[in-house]
Chain A
Amino acid sequence: MITQFLQRLLWLVVLVAAQMMVFNYIHIMGYATPLPFVYLVLLFPAGTSRWSILLWAFVCGLLCDIASLTLGIGAASLTLVAFVQPVLLKLMLPKDAPENMQPAYSTMGFWSYFNYAAILTALFILCYFALQSFSFNHISDLGIACGSSWLLTFALCLVFESLRGHKNSEPS
């Protein structure tokens, strides 16, 4: 239990630090900004209490907001993703999956995890950029920013997942 908590805390620190020090400075063509801190929410296994996911997501989003001076945007978006995550995970997991199954390539299969991560990151990015622009006057620019940022964020989440899966599969 404590190990699990510490692992999550470590991921939180790493993701927030990476966002603060690296990803906040990436704006490809003025549009694409990676926001991979959403990966924290993707990590929660099935059966985790929903209030716990919500609180972790809110804190993570708020810390990133403080680091990026966009107070409220990340927290609101990540809390929404955290609210949807258990429902989506339940739909994606096989019916005979154990109750506390970890969402991963190895447990869900590549395409299931791919879809799971794609939907949650897309939801996050849409919500984030909608709140950030708070206007649909330049909807084409908003669409380009959403699409390119989603591609980057999603790719980074898959990379993180590959690294985590590789580390877990190493003989200890």
Chain B
Amino acid sequence: MRALLDFLARYHHWFLFVMLEGISLVLLFQFNHFHNSVWLTTANTVVGRLNEWEQQALRYITLGDVNKALVQRNMLLEQNNLVLAEEVAMLTHDSTRAEQLQADRLSGIRLIPARVVTNSVMRRDNLLTINVGEDDGVRPEMGVVSGTGVVGIVYMTAPHYAIVMPLLNSHSNISCRLRGSEYFGSLKWEGHNPLFATLDDIPRHARFKLGDAVETSGFSAVFPPGLFMGKVDKIENSDDGLSYKLRVNLSIDFARLQDVCVVAQEFQTEIHELEQRADSTMTR
């Protein structure tokens, strides 16, 4: 307190100077029309610019939420797009049918938004961790997608976190097909380059070209059909020469992955248990 009083006593002329200049300027802007208009114009410009900066900062801060919403929205749009594409292919103008198809496809799918906590792309068997777990309804074998395509499958779960086996894992194997045809194969990552994977077992009589889209086939309870995986980048013969081996340019840049969604399908657990039971019966 004493130091403050000393400070005020020592520099009182500074405060008086600022105060008197302030009064002068108020008088200047208040009673001179030209100065007043210049002041208002400048003040408006400055305030406008400050508001713009504030809005930009707020927009930047809320980008995470926007991204989450976009991931979910993108997923739904992918589904819608697929339905419409099928509808066009069937050359039918029955809107009731399109709506029915869309409803059928989206019914029973629940999206659980999540954020990637840890990630790797440099290893042979990469894994990533997401910040949702059993308490959020996440179970092993559920699919994980991002706004631009399929990420992988939930491998292990804990109450609040889950480990995902992404496509960039040598054990990953996702059933895919070429969009617009019913030819399917399994998409695997062969290591080395995180931007490319290989789609095997495409029959030799299949008709396709470079740049064709590769999507999930929907032959499992993990992913609904039609989720975009990437585009055909290179066509090769398989080792036995009986089928094609396609190099697929993946739609996801795993190195920059942040927001994802877990796809929880209705009856997925039931289907999974049934499959396991069937497997155990066959091996007996």
Contacts and interface: CB of A to CB of B under 8 A. Distances in A.
A54 interface: yes
Contacts of A72: 24-32, 35
Contacts, number: 58
A70 B13 CA distance: 25
A54 B17 contact: yes
A54 B28 contact: no
B164 to A, nearest CB: 63
A118 to B, nearest CB: 23
B34 A134 contact: yes
B13 A50 contact: yes
A75 B20 contact: yes
Contacts of A134: 34-35, 38
B16 A54 contact: yes
Contacts of B23: 58, 75
B35 to A, nearest CB: 5
A71 B24 CA distance: 8
A83 interface: yes
Residue among B12, B25, B28, B32 with the highest chain A CB neighbour number at 10 A: B28
Contacts of B273: none
B21 interface: yes
Contacts of A75: 20, 23-24, 27
A58 B20 contact: yes
Given A54-B20, A79-B21, A80-B21, A71 B13 contact: no
A61 B24 contact: yes
B25 A76 contact: yes
Interface in A86-132: 131
B154 to A, nearest CB: 67
17 contacts: A50-B13, A51-B12, A51-B13, A51-B16, A55-B16, A55-B20, A58-B20, A70-B32, A72-B25, A72-B26, A72-B35, A73-B24, A73-B32, A75-B20, A76-B25, A131-B35, A134-B34
Interface of B: 12-13, 16-17, 20-21, 23-32, 34-35, 38
Given A62-B24, A72-B32, A79-B24, 17 more contacts: A51-B16, A55-B20, A58-B20, A58-B23, A62-B27, A65-B27, A71-B30, A72-B27, A72-B35, A73-B32, A75-B20, A75-B27, A76-B24, A76-B28, A79-B17, A79-B20, A131-B28
